Structure 1
Amino acid sequence: MHFTPMLYISLYFLALSFKDVICFFDPVSLTVGVGVGLGALTGFGVLKDQTYCRLTECCNERSIPGDVYKLKVMIQKRLFGQHIVKQQLISALEAHFNPRSSSRKPLVMSFHGTPGTGKNFVADMIAEALYEKGIKSRFVHKYTGRLDFPLQKIVGSYNERIYNDVVTGITDCPRSLFIFDEVDKMPAGVFESLASLVDYNALPNKLDGSKAIFIFLSNLAGVQISDQLAKMLKNGELRENIKLSSFERILQKASYNLEGGFKKAGLIEQHVIDHFIPFLPLEKQHVHQCISAEFNKWDRRPQEQVIEDMLKKVITYDREHGLFSTAGCKTIEKKVATEVWIEKRLT
């Protein structure tokens, strides 16, 4: 059938009228015996896809393409110095979106590292690749420690909020994404209600949470990651050859014992977190790559001296090892933008 603009509008309001029926009835579970033909309900589904879901976000493949290959390309072009992240993250997401997956629990990942190593950057790229509307999707739920969960004395209320938000979110769309930033700034005990929810078949009302994704972002264990990496580099190991196994136990132990939202957390005790992923501290060469990439976004190819001059302004090396940039690439975007506008004013 060919749909004209006016027909779209008319069918949209018709589909809107039947939205609740379309969203909550499963044609496979119904029979003609209850007065509704399977063909009719299937027709409603097609009608919804062609009208309502063309004009608003729905929990379907159009709104949630789950494009892991797109994410792989984005990370390859825009993330530097994080070979472990590239290897583990893409494999984890490919397995999660595999239609043959038999997992009974959601995908749960915890990102750790010092500021400026790319944790938030990668989390936003995940949302951008998996959801048509990216981080603005109503199926992407993002929380920030200091803003959403700042006080220890009302941790019980935070637990209730997280429980209700997760149940509501997964009810709305099983392919929901939950991002918790600044876990190290959250009070201990904040995730206790979540531990049971994301465990095997623990959601209420027979909800299926196996398609959801939970990502935790934290500066926890950043110092331990730096110490371990420095030790290995000084022993002659090549950075690109270092494996995840050199960090996993360190991350798990530090998360459980250090102050923050993971301290003595059931999420760790119950082994609910599938992947502890380290974001390695950045060296000078990686910050150089960040600067070049930012200039490329402005269609600029500066001379090497311009980049070297900027490196001198933005890099402060860690006192302990003298190898790693303390801020990583955190301020590069604004620094390059300022440099470009100065150049424009002078031309």
Structure 2
Amino acid sequence: MSFFNVLHKSCILCLILVCLAAVEAIEPLTMGAAAIGIGAGLTYFKGQTYCRFYECCDDRSIPGNIQALKDSLERTLFGQHIVTQHIIPALTAHFSAQSRSRKPLVMSFHGQPGTGKNFVAEQIANALYLEGLKSGYVTKYLGQADFPMESKVDYYKDRITREVRRSLASCPRSLFIFDEVDKMPSGVFNTLTSLVDYNFFDDGTDNTKAIFIFLSNTAGAHIADHLGNLMKGGKLREDTRLSDFEPLLKKAAFNMDGGLKKTTLIEKHVIDHYIPFLPLEKAHVIKCLEAEFDRWDMPPRKSIIEDILATSISYDRNHGLFAISGCKTLEKKVSMALY
């Protein structure tokens, strides 16, 4: 940031502080309606000055553009009809001006690597917040990097509680993304339960507008095996529904190693949606490869696609249908082939 940008920002802050000081200087007997009016005026003043240039917890910085998210997912997410069928309505209802939500929106994404969990979480952040993942109101945790030691679970629980409450105090419309949940020590989320449940906080903290998303590889193999069996039984992939997978996901998340194992988040039913990311088939991998060429502003090259499919894509042993790594490594494969 340049010197003049810093100076500009400092001037705006100073002007706002001067106005706040003026409110505090009003005699106690004259406060009442006058102070309320001045406070409203200052809010408007801040919205027309500081918040026009810098991020604030308002509609400009948090537009909640669900339609843009829907359009983007339909264009760039392959093989995940259940994801779009449920995430878009869930976010629409939560962000609606008529929403009467009494708790945060809590979603848990499950699936094998390369099926799009991080991809979708990033697109959600980009659609809801003007600055996307760089927003000061978006917090992302990485399982292995942020919570590596089983012996420090109590410290991690305190840290999560402290940081979540601080973020909610700064902006009730905060987004929290917990990635690599399967690599976190069990019990790390137990104190989080009270922050995402139906609660009233004495300090005025509002949690009802927040969104929590958990990303996990847990049950990825279970999803693939169950889908394979459904398809072998005659059911079309596109005809599968959330109800085909949600009980399986809840049971696996509760019993398998990771941050959700035996957690009160599941016991107290505060996770609103368990979203399965289905394993990808060859046709979906081809679409991912074509999308990579499009990112390079180049037409798809059939020879490169066929070479990558033949040398870099392996399929599951049980059904022989699903690409083990999904679309995870394709970006580097295409860029290497092009250069």
- Structure 2 counterpart of 1:158, one-letter code: Y
Distance 1:257 1:51, change over 3 A: same
SS at match of 1:194: helix
Structure 2 equivalent of residue 106 of structure 1: 104
**11-20 or 205-214: bigger deviation:** 11-20
2:333 and 2:106 map into 1 onto residues whose CA distance is 34
Please give the root-mean-square deviation of Cα atoms over the aligned residues, in Å: 2.2
Structure 2 equivalent of residue 51 of structure 1: 49
- Structure 2 counterpart of 1:237, one-letter code: K
Distance 1:19 1:162, change over 3 A: farther
Q: Does 1:150 align with 2:148?
A: yes
Instruction: After TM superposition, give the deviation of residue 236 of structure 1 in Å.
Output: 1.1
Structure 1 equivalent of residue 171 of structure 2: 173
Whether the aligned pair in 2 keeps the contact of 1:192 and 1:266 (CA below 8 Å) is yes
1:279 and 1:116 map into 2 onto residues whose CA distance is 9
Structure 1 equivalent of residue 292 of structure 2: 294
Deviations 1:209-237 (Å, cap 9, x if unpaired)?
01000000000011110111000110111
2:9 and 2:176 map into 1 onto residues whose CA distance is 33
Deviations 1:112-139 (Å, cap 9, x if unpaired)?
0000000011111110110011001010
**260-269 or 39-48: bigger deviation:** 39-48
Whether the aligned pair in 2 keeps the contact of 1:15 and 1:47 (CA below 8 Å) is no
2:135 to 134, 137, 140: 137
Instruction: After TM superposition, give the deviation of residue 307 of structure 1 in Å.
Output: 1.6
Structure 1 equivalent of residue 12 of structure 2: 12
Deviations 1:23-65 (Å, cap 9, x if unpaired)?
xx9xxxxx96437443322221121112111222110011111
Instruction: After TM superposition, give the deviation of residue 109 of structure 1 in Å.
Output: 0.1
Instruction: After TM superposition, give the deviation of residue 305 of structure 1 in Å.
Output: 3.1
1:258 and 1:277 map into 2 onto residues whose CA distance is 17
Structure 1 gap segments, 5+ residues each: 26-30, 343-347
TM-score by length of 2: 0.92
Whether the aligned pair in 2 keeps the contact of 1:11 and 1:51 (CA below 8 Å) is no
Distance 1:137 1:87, change over 3 A: same
Question: Among the aligned pairs, what percent are the same residue?
Answer: 54
Structure 2 equivalent of residue 277 of structure 1: 275
Distance 1:325 1:88, change over 3 A: same
**79-88 or 47-56: bigger deviation:** 47-56
2:34 and 2:197 map into 1 onto residues whose CA distance is 36
SS at match of 1:233: helix
SS at match of 1:206: coil
1:162 and 1:19 map into 2 onto residues whose CA distance is 35
Structure 2 equivalent of residue 345 of structure 1: none
Distance 1:319 1:37, change over 3 A: same
- Structure 1 counterpart of 2:179, one-letter code: D
Distance 1:38 1:16, change over 3 A: closer
Distance 1:309 1:20, change over 3 A: farther
Alignment of 1:91-102 (within 5 A): 91-102=89-100
Whether the aligned pair in 2 keeps the contact of 1:113 and 1:221 (CA below 8 Å) is yes
Distance 1:21 1:65, change over 3 A: farther
Alignment of 1:158-307 (within 5 A): 158-307=156-305
Structure 2 equivalent of residue 332 of structure 1: 330
Distance 1:284 1:208, change over 3 A: same
Whether the aligned pair in 1 keeps the contact of 2:293 and 2:300 (CA below 8 Å) is yes
1:80 to 70, 78, 81: 78
1:196 and 1:9 map into 2 onto residues whose CA distance is 37
- Structure 2 counterpart of 1:153, one-letter code: S
- Structure 2 counterpart of 1:235, one-letter code: G
Whether the aligned pair in 2 keeps the contact of 1:32 and 1:38 (CA below 8 Å) is no
Structure 2 gap segments, 5+ residues each: none
Whether the aligned pair in 2 keeps the contact of 1:115 and 1:219 (CA below 8 Å) is yes
Distance 1:292 1:18, change over 3 A: farther
1:188 and 1:205 map into 2 onto residues whose CA distance is 29
2:254 and 2:202 map into 1 onto residues whose CA distance is 27
